[in-house]
A and B are shown apart, each in its own frame.
Chain A
């Protein structure tokens, strides 16, 4: 396996952006990520992006976003209609071929134009499930109920997750939610989608993120302390929520094993848009809060630009590894209802 590292990362997220469209949001983030590397679009070997037309309410939304990259002369480029984390996987795969040394990954999405929880209902089986319009929050609540009904987890555990993420959010300039709070205050809030409260659900965010990858010595030339991808894998489960155990994340477990998590990480960035999902994921990753700092950025509960949040987890983990905040990090990204599909990435600082 050819060593590939994150050499640069930038993101932007905000609550509803009324003034700028997706291209305008993406442009400065691209510049911010590319500038420190000195690379231009033409220097990059392969570009991959992640986004979803349905967020924009427009077919081919990703086509106009390509303008932000300025693909002229033409570039080698592809796109997945998925979270940018999966675009990063494609870029990492391409770099394994050995003939190119750099890749550009970007993701963008505005969750605010439509009713995002309802829009996500369109991910469901269009014949049997979709027409019932179970929105994303309701499905997550189903999963949370299943988890709470199983032994050992109670609503105070959810509150603990939220309180911790909020504490961490104080240090994150891209967080939309950072109001400091405690478990008691949180538990006093009314239920929103039983058993979830509003704060157990993600905010609606607009944003973009960019990651630059480089291989081998090129990575060392481009960054002082590259964050090396030691392992990366993703797996999918069946969609039907009745056909799988929602209280465990089987695909995360497989991906974690394939990526070589080994139960060791100084920090972990988990793409858990709902609080109860952090608990499920930690378990599946084989990590625990005593030895691993969970969501130092605050996670998806404090900022959740859909299609971007997974890539942000990788970026945030990489940034901290490069900054020396941890030697070894795990980043996770998810897609689909109730953690249907999961990606796990292990990052390490230069030895």
Chain B
């Protein structure tokens, strides 16, 4: 169907939207980011259920109470589960395929999503013991990206029973 002058109908238009936002991590996460700047993983413990959250986001999501106690967790942990990502998407900065892992850092009760390197997609497995590989110290910022990725360490895989709760 064309217009009288033979031009084709407009079926779609692209309308660029640009909005700038100033994000606030919040008090608890801010402290977490300060910790990262020092190369430390700082979580918070819920006064009611006793679980440790890394990163903490204001309150315990299970109890609905504010976090109190600060708890430092290790930068070693267990790879609870993972996905091997092989699909392109906007904002992608990592080469495909990559392993997106859920790591339970020792001392934390909540997994964190971290890039996994140093092991091929064929060999990665649930329960692998890993350690954070940090960027060079002089590149550290207030960001979780100070941890470039986690890589396997020379420890026997964690027993399934020990981490299945985190699934």
Contact = CB atoms under 8 A, between A and B. Distances in A.
A57 B22 CA distance: 9
Interface string A41-56: 1000000000000101
- Size bin of chain B's contact surface: 20 to 34
- Size bin of chain A's contact surface: 20 to 34
A244 to B, nearest CB: 24
B29 interface: yes
Contacts of B13: 127, 131
A118 interface: yes
B25 to A, nearest CB: 6
Interface stretch (A23-31, A155-163, A179-187): A23-31
A20 B23 CA distance: 10
Given A21-B26, A27-B59, A67 B64 contact: yes
Contacts of A262: none
A138 to B, nearest CB: 17
Residue of B13, B19, B57, B60 most packed against chain A (CB within 10 A): B19
B162 to A, nearest CB: 23
Contact of B21 (A18, A23, A114, A130): A114
Given A64-B57, A131-B15, A21 B25 contact: yes
A251 to B, nearest CB: 28
Interface of A: 17-21, 23-24, 27-28, 30, 41, 54, 56-57, 64, 66-72, 110, 112-115, 118-119, 122, 126-127, 130-131
Given A20-B27, A69-B64, 16 more contacts: A19-B24, A19-B26, A20-B26, A20-B58, A21-B26, A23-B58, A24-B58, A57-B19, A64-B57, A68-B64, A70-B64, A70-B65, A72-B62, A112-B22, A113-B23, A114-B21
